Amino acid sequence: MTSYLLRRILQLIPVLIGVSLVIFLLLRLIPGDPARAFLGPDATEQDVAMVRSRLGLDQPLVKQYAKFAWGLARGDLGRSIRTDARVTEELKTRYPNTIKLTAMAAFFMVAIGLPVGIISATRPNSWLDNTTMVLALGGVSVPVFWLGLMLILLFSVKLHLLPSGGGDSIRHFILPGLALGLSSAAILARLTRSSMLEVVNQDYIRTARAKGLMEKVVINKHALKNALIPVVTIIGLEIGGLLAGAVLTETVFAMNGLGRYIVLAINERDYPVVQGAVLLLSLSFVLVNMVVDVLYALIDPRIRYR
Amino acid sequence: MTRNRALALILILALALISVLSGCSGSGGGGKKITFALSVEPKKLDSQDVTDNPSYMVNAMMYENLVTYNEKMELVPQLATKWEGAKDGMSWTFTLRQGVKFHDGTPFNANAVKVSFDRILNPDLKLARYSLYNAFIKSVEVVNDYTVKFNMKFPFGALPQNLAHPAGIIHSPAALQKYGKDIARNPVGTGPYKFKEWVSGDHITVVKNTSYWGEKAKVDQIVVKVVPDANSRVNMLETGEADVAYPVNASDVARLQKSDKVGVIVKPSNRIVYLGINVTQKPFDNPKVRQAMNYAVNKKAIVDKILLNLGEEQLSPLGPNNWGYVAQKPYEYNPDKAKQLLQEAGVKPGTKVTLWTPDGRYLMDRQVSEAVQADLQAVGFQVEFKKWEWTTYLTELDKLAKGNHQLFLLGWAPSTGDADWGLRPLFQTGETNNYALYSNKTADDLIKKGMSATDEKERLQTYADLQKFLWEDAPMIFLYSVKQTVGVSKKVTGLVVHPLEMLYFDKIDKTK
Amino acid sequence: MVQNLVPSSLRRFAKNRKAVVGVAMVVLYVAVALLAPALTPYNPTKPDLNLALQAPTLGHPLGNDELGRDILARIIYGARISLMVGLVGTGIALVGGVILGSLSGYFGGWVDTVIMRAMDIMLAFPSFLLALAIVSILGAGLMNLMLAIGIFSIPSFSRVVRGSVLSVKNQDYVEAARAVGLSDLRILVAHILPNCMAPIIVLATMRVATAILTASGLSFLGLGAQPPTPEWGAMLSNGREYLRAAPHLATFPGLAIMFGVLGFNLFGDGLRDALDPRLKNR
């Protein structure tokens, strides 16, 4: 187990190096000068040139990347162009919000998706099943930013029940979490259902039924347990997706999270910030996938760590 | 049984969620507190090294200049008590206020002034506002503890006005030494509030400076909360979560004005938003064509229907609320006259032009550009529309040598509130913000005359002539000037909304 | 086997009510896009400031936007844009994914390693951010939007194609073709790919939905087509500023996006059940 984990972690390194290189290059391909973004329209071209040299942007790209990579190796992400603060400091205040948002969304995903999927599967092709599945597909089809706006309009503007985001307390995370988690809940519901149905049609369930076990026992004891295996995988994958979905959700709800920060930093051409934030997000993403793999192995005894 | 397990899973998740979320901090502290919901986070709390207004605004709570502008745009003393220019205009001497201390206890004196200006004038530090003062200040000299002398590179009459610029702040020399590069996150000034904390992307807190030299602050702390979404800002105002919200959406103003709990302060600024014309390109090299375009655009409709009256029709190349402003006779909306002028100038219907615009940078910029596009198409132009992302736009405008731009929307607000800075950067040959590539002997002469004139009457007359000339030569489609909208709780008094797009909090108070 | 797949699938498909609804929605959507000028008397791009922000009326059933343009007309013409983005974007991804995936699956070895590692890196990026980065590089505009959507969908296509190619390439008829001396290209194009079509078609249909959704997200962030092009995501984004005073600006474009995406999702779902009953999961 330990050596398996170790190997998995070591495998992360080339992927992260790849990500760091790709984001470094992508950023520099985006037109627009960070120094000009910092100084605004009033500054003279001499000012812009001066700030460029202060930021080291007049150096060759290889040198810039080497500096970035060397810092990275020591856990130093450099300083924000926009604020001159350490990128690690800037990320420290934002990352927890993204995690909270993702946690809230994951909660809604599981709390809605799992029961709906199970109930649907126990009555396949019934009226209830068909309706919920169409609704679920609807859930996948809603643009998250629109859903967010509509939730704001309803709960915040019209009913004054919940704040529209951008705060610290748990209440501020309810609407964004719901907006973000709903489409994942829909995906989870569909998957739970199909996974259960697949299991139900397998031999050992038929055997269990033939033995005359009560339907409830069959479903609960035999079907659900085995159906949960792919469900756990999809939960993990969706949590990864939720992290990415944070970009739009945080923008709509104007939350102080990593996603909106990345958009802001791209607009300001704050290279060190985008690099650091994207790396952090990718790392979280890959780590979640890793945890899922491990969980998967724990649940399913057929998989062994080689 | 297994259903219970599913339930347990949900429960565990819920618990995990609560434990994650409960790690949130509440901001405590007693006394009077003002919460200020601001759309954009300041970049740095060091006005010498930024160019953005949110930074200036928060910085001004903690820092002071030698002189400053009051609400009526008059120059008044701050850390200097009086000042005098040499006869030849080559130097200025300032007498400093005595008994002032920085927040860290360092005494304020001539040395502090010299250290601060030496810092901004140090070419090695490459501070964002380096060129502002380097343009005319040769050196700063300590005459005695409370007298300081600025030596000019050439006779320069507008030094006091320029020292009132936000970048003219005085830092604590001890703090500069202590924090070095990190001063922007650890500001130490002489102002009515002291820095407390800055949580990136979330809020900045300042607290009352109990040993302030002047009239002390009436509230104990101000929390500047970063709230980028306009709907959230207004919500917070209405629920009492915020006391001041800036800016407020135009479409929300009417509703807020009817509220009994909150109000909206609508104040003119000195900013104009204009549609620049690259005058080096055909057919725009012909003033007739430029005038025609001014007749073609329905500015009144733009102000009424798009700006919802939160702007005013632009009536001079210089923004209102600037020293020397003279309103001109408007180009009335007259598409027929426009067509006729275009015909006289030999512009064929269907002539292709491109219109560049930012989106969301100035009040309703993109919407206005779309309306202008339609108006220009109505008189026969074929307008290709291009919306730019702001940074790309600025960088693209920098490549002026290529000169492939034609019409472009931009704003201009002279930070000195003076006609010289309101007109020179836009219209003098080769100046930095002269994106129109405008070059005209008459205009250049008048600009030079206004700059070197020492007699106020002569200056006023010169700028009046200049405005009239530019108005008729029309190197831009004159659009609108911007009003500022600040949402304020009815409990709040003493907030100053300054024409230079600044909010001042030193006299703010709040009733229970 | 391709021959008798079609009729039985068709039957299965026609029996699936959800799928039929999906097809109906997609047909309606395409029809609206094609017939746009016949469906509304209004010009979707011409401002009429006198009607700015007007709430829904009989003449303008969905109201008017901030420049007084008829929102219904803009939604109708917007169908063209979003359909085009969905189809062209997916088309680009399809072509790129089929080429990369089949090369990877067919040749294996270092070709496979290089291509799949590159795909891994692309997938390690939060997907939306990748599209965002690409469109930021290319600049806002319809063409660039479609390109970004296409590039960002390539990894998922190439993975599916690779998997199918792997499962087919060692079958007898391929071996036979190889024995006769047919060229690799010929084998790939004439013998392997046709037998991988089912999952590719299903994925493509689903990805049209994803493409429309992602494109609207990018337009929402201001990276879509140039104004005054009626584009749903951009309309929604503009409506945000008037959420309280005129909520209809943001509401209706969102419904339109949802309708289009749902149609393609239902359609793809039905196709999957019909073409390949084993492929249950997304």
Q: Is the pLDDT at C282 greater than 70, yes or no?
A: no
- Across the interface, of B6, B44, B232, the residue whose CB is closest to A166 is B232
The alpha carbon of residue B65 is apart from the nearest alpha carbon of chain A, in Å, by 21
| Residues B149 and B235 placed together within one structural domain of the fold | yes
- CA proximity to A49, closest of A57, B389, A41: A57
Please tell me the distance from the alpha carbon of residue B460 to that of residue B462, in angstroms, as a whole number. 5
Determine, yes or no, domain membership for B1: no
| Residues B318 and B364 placed together within one structural domain of the fold | yes
Tell me the one-letter amino acid at C120: D
How much is the average pLDDT of C16-32?
91
| Residues B113 and B176 placed together within one structural domain of the fold | yes
pLDDT in tens, A66-107: 999 999 989 899 999 999 999 999 999 999 999 999 999 999
| Residues B68 and B185 placed together within one structural domain of the fold | yes
Bridge partners (DSSP) listed for residue B138: none
| Interchain contact C136–B (C-beta under 8 A) | yes
Q: pLDDT-derived band of residue C244, with 50, 70 and 90 as boundaries? A: confident
Question: Do strands B509-510 and B352-358 pair parallel, antiparallel, or not at all (unpaired)?
Answer: unpaired
CB pair distance less than 8 Å for A37 and B394: yes
Taking a C-beta distance cutoff of 8 angstroms, is the pair B271, B498 a contact?
Answer: no
Interface of B with A in 396-425 (CB under 8 A): 396-398, 410, 415, 425
Determine, yes or no, domain membership for B13: no
Report which DSSP code applies to C54. Answer: P
- Across the interface, of C217, C261, C269, the residue whose CB is closest to A248 is C217
Domain count, chain A: 1
Taking a C-beta distance cutoff of 8 angstroms, is the pair A101, A180 a contact?
Answer: yes
What is the pLDDT, as a whole number, of residue C35?
A: 95
pLDDT in tens, B150-191: 999 988 878 888 899 999 999 999 999 999 989 999 999 999
| Interchain contact C143–B (C-beta under 8 A) | no
pLDDT in tens, C163-178: 889 888 888 888 888 8
Please tell me the distance from the alpha carbon of residue B128 to that of residue B146, in angstroms, as a whole number. 28
Residues contacting residue C130 through CB under 8 Å, at least 6 positions apart: C122, C151, C152
Interface of A with C in 25-64 (CB under 8 A): 26-27, 29-31
| Residues B55 and B84 placed together within one structural domain of the fold | yes
CB pair distance less than 8 Å for B235 and A156: yes
pLDDT in tens, A103-137: 999 999 999 999 999 888 888 888 888 888 888 88
The alpha carbon of residue A111 is apart from the nearest alpha carbon of chain B, in Å, by 6
Interface test with chain B among A38, A104, A239, by most B beta carbons within 10 Å: A38
CB pair distance less than 8 Å for C47 and B374: yes
| Residues B133 and B282 placed together within one structural domain of the fold | no
Taking a C-beta distance cutoff of 8 angstroms, is the pair B319, B413 a contact?
Answer: yes
Question: pTM score, two decimals?
Answer: 0.87
| Residues B365 and B505 placed together within one structural domain of the fold | no
Residue A101's CATH number:
1.10.3720.10
**H/E element, B503:** strand B502-504
Determine, yes or no, domain membership for A51: no
First to last CA, chain A: 9
Q: C-alpha angle A35/A41/A47, rounded to 5°? A: 45
| Interchain contact A266–C (C-beta under 8 A) | yes
| Residues B36 and B165 placed together within one structural domain of the fold | yes
| Residues B498 and B478 placed together within one structural domain of the fold | no
| Interchain contact C276–B (C-beta under 8 A) | no
Residues contacting residue C40 through CB under 8 Å, at least 6 positions apart: C70, C72, C73, C76, C77
Burial letters C41-64, b for 16+ CB under 10 A, else e: ebbbbebbbebbbbeeeeebebbb
Q: Which residues of B touch A269 (CB under 8 A)?
A: 391
CB pair distance less than 8 Å for B20 and A253: no
- Across the interface, of A166, A168, A170, the residue whose CB is closest to B229 is A166
Q: Is the pLDDT at C188 greater than 80, yes or no?
A: yes
| Residues B62 and B86 placed together within one structural domain of the fold | yes
Determine, yes or no, domain membership for B445: yes
First to last CA, chain B: 57
What is the pLDDT, as a whole number, of residue B400?
A: 66
**Domain span at residue A235?**
88-299
Q: Which residues of C touch B309 (CB under 8 A)?
A: none
CATH class of C71-275: mainly alpha
> Which residues of chain B are under the pLDDT cut of 50?
1-3, 23-29
| Interchain contact B2–A (C-beta under 8 A) | yes
Task: Count other C-beta atoms under 10 Å from residue A237's C-beta.
Answer: 17
Q: Which two tokens stand for residue A175?
A: 């609407």
What is the pLDDT, as a whole number, of residue B401?
A: 57
The length of chain A in residues reads 306
What is the pLDDT, as a whole number, of residue C2?
A: 47
Chain-centre distance of CA B446, in angstroms?
26
Interface test with chain B among C50, C66, C138, by most B beta carbons within 10 Å: C66
The alpha carbon of residue B251 is apart from the nearest alpha carbon of chain C, in Å, by 6
Q: C-alpha angle C52/C56/C59, rounded to 5°? A: 90
How many inter-chain contacts (A to B, CB under 8 Å) are there?
A: 168
Taking a C-beta distance cutoff of 8 angstroms, is the pair B244, B489 a contact?
Answer: yes
Q: ipTM of the predicted structure?
A: 0.86
**H/E element, C257:** helix C248-275
The alpha carbon of residue C266 is apart from the nearest alpha carbon of chain B, in Å, by 29
Residue B461's CATH number:
3.10.105.10
Assign A222 to helix, strand or coil. helix
**Domain span at residue B126?**
28-243+491-512
Rg of the Cα trace of chain C? 22
What is the pLDDT, as a whole number, of residue B1?
A: 40
Assign B357 to helix, strand or coil. strand
Burial letters C75-104, b for 16+ CB under 10 A, else e: bbbbbbbbbbbbbbbbebbbebbbebbbbb
Taking a C-beta distance cutoff of 8 angstroms, is the pair C85, C233 a contact?
Answer: no
pLDDT in tens, C42-63: 999 999 999 999 999 999 999 9
- CA proximity to A247, closest of A116, A102, A141: A102
Taking a C-beta distance cutoff of 8 angstroms, is the pair B412, B68 a contact?
Answer: no
Q: How far is CA C115 from CA C59, C157, C158, in A?
A: 55, 12, 9
Q: pLDDT-derived band of residue C6, with 50, 70 and 90 as boundaries? A: low
- The nearest alpha carbon in chain C to A14 belongs to C121
**In terms of pLDDT, which residue wins out, B416 or A183?**
A183
Domain count, chain B: 2
pLDDT in tens, A280-303: 988 888 888 788 777 777 766 655
Please tell me the distance from the alpha carbon of residue B146 to that of residue B148, in angstroms, as a whole number. 7
Provide the mean pLDDT of chain C.
89
Chains within contact range of chain B (3+ C-beta pairs < 8 Å): A, C
Q: Is the pLDDT at A29 greater than 80, yes or no?
A: yes
| Residues B353 and B205 placed together within one structural domain of the fold | no
Tell me the one-letter amino acid at B227: V
| Residues B453 and B366 placed together within one structural domain of the fold | yes
Taking a C-beta distance cutoff of 8 angstroms, is the pair B203, B224 a contact?
Answer: yes
CB pair distance less than 8 Å for C220 and A145: yes
